[in-house]
Amino acid sequence: MAYPSAAQVISPAIERTKLFLFKPFRMGRFLKLTLVAALVEGGSAGIGSSGGFPSGSSPNSKTTQQLPHIDWPAILHWIGEWMAVVVALVLMVFLIGILIRYLLIRLRFSYFDCVLRQQDQIGPAWSIYHRQALRYLGLSLLVELGLWILLIPIGYALYEHFKPLIHSWMSGHSPDLWSILPVFAVIFPLILLLSLLAAVAEIVLSCFVLPRMALEDASIGDALGDVWGDIVREPGAFAFFTFMRLLLSLAGGFVGVVAIIVPAILIVLIGVIFALIVKSLSTAMAFVLGIPLGILAVGFLILVGIGVRGTIGTFLRNYALLFYGGRYPILGSMLPPPVPPRVWQPGYAPPPNPASGI
């Protein structure tokens, strides 16, 4: 049996998104769903300082001063106390981050269920996906840990390769442009490659592993094994889907930026004209009216951003559902209406319906 390609499900995914979000269109319902979709579908700098102790004497001074006595045990005790506080804060932030991530993953499962069944109630699905969300959280943390571990040999190899240059910089020699260019020529493509690898891993987890965990309550091993078997059977189709998914995400991001910039420019122009008119009448009135109107304008732009981002996220979820539904029978049978995968083939005619007499 021939299954729908990643290109063939784009149009059905658009139709399912329109049906889910806009038919019927109710503003409250639309904002609720797109807010959830925007949430779930979707550097640090070091400061160095140097200093020294002043000599306490001028070059012509004939006397020398000794440094005051330093109570090292007290200083070490003070550092130990603050280190304990820092470690406790880092641990607390880490645990809060894990909790927030779990909640977002559980919300992703719930929204998956809503889009799959074309229903808008988050609560019923939320109540049944606790165990699956924990498994998905553990798997995603393992994948991220693997990516970080991958950075260790890469970082060491880069250090060995650029060791003379690094030592030259550390010795106080100012780097010139020609010495920096080779570093960027290596690191920039490497960052792109690692980002692409992370994006592909996210697509595999979100589009293929998540449905099997949600619908079968599959363990991590079973879900990964089944998805790997699907990919091995059709490597070209899954590779093309991954490429299209990345391309559609980039296109959606561009559309989202444009959708924010255009109304923002219009609001700024209207606001400037309005402010000039009102200020010509009364400066105080311009100040009193300008603050609430500015808050309203910012709120409007936030709502526009949520609506656009959530609509794109819902489309991407439908896109993954329709593609993988043609290869995962349990998922395909639950897509309302349950349509056989072959209907998306060009030139395919459905079988005659005996009840219609045709």
Block means of pLDDT (10 residues each) for the chain, 358 residues, are: 79 92 90 92 47 42 45 60 78 91 94 92 89 94 89 82 71 63 79 89 94 93 94 94 94 88 87 78 73 85 91 94 92 70 41 40
Q: What angle do CA 20, 21, 27 make, to 5 degrees?
A: 145
**Cα 299 to Cα 309: distance, rounded to the nearest angstrom:** 15
Distance in angstroms (rounded) separating the CA atoms of residues 116 and 259: 27
Please name which of 242, 245, 255, 241 lies closest in space to residue 309, comparing C-alpha atoms.
255
Rounded Cα distance, 260 and 25, in Å: 21
Run of H or E including 127: none
Residue-level pLDDT at 172:
60
Closest CA to 39 of 255, 259, 306, 260: 306
Contact 57, 63 (CB under 8 A): yes
The predicted structure's pLDDT at residue 4: 79
Residue linked to tokens 């899954």: 238
- Cα–Cα nearest to 267, from 302, 319, 227: 302
Residue 43 lies in a domain: no
Answer yes or no: is 47 within a domain: no
| 26 belongs to a structural domain | yes
292 found inside a domain: yes
Q: Decide if 340 contacts 3 (C-beta within 8 A).
A: no
CB of 328 closer than 8 Å to CB of 211 = yes
Report the greatest alpha carbon distance in the chain: 118
Is residue 59 assigned to a domain? Answer: no
Specify if 66 maps to a domain.
no
Does residue 177 sit within a domain?
Answer: no
> What's the pLDDT score for residue 228?
94
Q: Could you report the per-residue pLDDT of 165-181, keeping only the tens digit for each?
A: 767 666 666 666 666 77
Domain membership of residue 58 (yes or no) is no
Alpha carbon distances (Å) from 248 to 7, 306, 312, 316: 11, 18, 9, 8
- Determine the Cα–Cα distance for residues 110 and 164; give it in Å rounded to an integer: 53
Q: Domain containing 29: what range?
A: 10-38+74-172+186-344
Structural domain total, the chain = 1
List, in order, residues 6 or more apart from 115 with CB less than 8 Å away.
Answer: 16, 20, 314, 317, 318, 321
Residue 242: its pLDDT value, please? 95
129 three-state secondary structure: coil
Residue by residue, DSSP assigns 54-95 as: --SS-TT-----PPPP--HHHHHHHHHHHHHHHHHHHHHHHH
Asked if residue 340 has a cis previous peptide bond (ω within 30° of 0), the answer is: no
